[in-house]
Amino acid sequence: MTRTERSAPQLAALAALLADPTRAAICLALLDGRAWTGGELARHAGVAPSTASEHLTQLVAGGLLVEERQGRHRYVRLVDAQTAQLIEDLAAFAGPPPEPAPTLRARSAGEALARARTCYDHLAGRLGILITDAMTERGLLSQEAGFALTSDGLGWFAAQGIDLPAARAGRRPLARPCLDWTERRPHLSGLSGAALCEHALSAGWCVRIGSQRALKVTDDGTRQLRDLLGIEPEALQI
């Protein structure tokens, strides 16, 4: 039996985990990079807490989620960035949700996610694409063979006071493309994408909107993105 044949049952089991709409909704919600309680995920998915608990047990057993306990509370999160990348890639391959959204509130939420959001631990949506394009145009990021920070790019991160952990063999790469499911183009992920997202949030360039992974670029963030990367304010409002 070949290695491919031996892997077939594991692939089928993974596909089965994500074949249920409730489990898929749970995994997509956890792309915000935070740990959620079962009750929060039940409300998000529109199911009873007992139903959500059954699905969470399957996702933990299947290796997509990890459970953390704090006192009486049970939290779950995606196992790692590689798992988040898989979920995001599958969402991009599946295509955008049907339009139009049924309510004004749903449309507004969808537009906010498309405009700026986190993809696990890096920036996505139109904001992520604008930053990726601006870095490429300024010679900070090369897209010739995958994604790679240039020497100027490394210097740019250092100039902003953003520490980049060294990429080690077998670990997450410093820069890699992640297909954006709303823009249908790759944005920057990897260690540098995560570090940039962390800086954008801690420095107040962006703030989270509600409990979802949508972001809003602040006035200071708008100025910083214009001054540092040449991104015009109008582009952030589209």
CATH of residue 44 = 1.10.10.10
Model pLDDT, residue 139 = 96
In this prediction, residue 3 has a pLDDT band, given cuts at 50, 70 and 90, of low
In this prediction, residue 89 has a pLDDT band, given cuts at 50, 70 and 90, of confident
Task: Give mean pLDDT, residues 199-209.
Answer: 94
CB 140 within 8 A of CB 149: yes
Task: Give mean pLDDT, residues 202-225.
Answer: 90
230 and 125 co-located in one domain? yes
Which of 64, 135, 153 is closest to 127 using CA atoms?
Answer: 135
> Which has the higher per-residue pLDDT, 238 or 1?
238
Q: What are the backbone dihedrals phi and psi of residue 218, each rounded to the nearest 5 degrees, phi first? A: -80, 170
175 and 216 co-located in one domain? yes
In this prediction, residue 80 has a pLDDT band, given cuts at 50, 70 and 90, of confident
Q: Mind listing the pLDDT tens digit for each residue in 167-178?
A: 554 577 899 998
Give the mean pLDDT of the chain: 86
97 and 36 co-located in one domain? no
194 and 172 co-located in one domain? yes
H/E element, 68: strand 65-70
132 and 221 co-located in one domain? yes
> Which has the higher per-residue pLDDT, 156 or 172?
156
Last residue of a domain, one of 79, 96, 131: 79
Domain range holding 181? 88-237
Model pLDDT, residue 149 = 95
Give the count of domains, the chain: 2
Q: Mind listing the pLDDT tens digit for each residue in 38-75?
A: 998 999 899 999 999 999 999 999 999 999 887 777 88
Residue 4 has pLDDT above 60, yes or no: no
107 and 200 co-located in one domain? yes
Encoded amino acid at 221, one letter: G
Neighbours of 198 (CB within 10 A): 15
Q: Which residues contact 177 (CB under 8 A, 6 or more apart)?
A: 143, 146, 147, 186, 187, 188, 189
165 and 195 co-located in one domain? yes
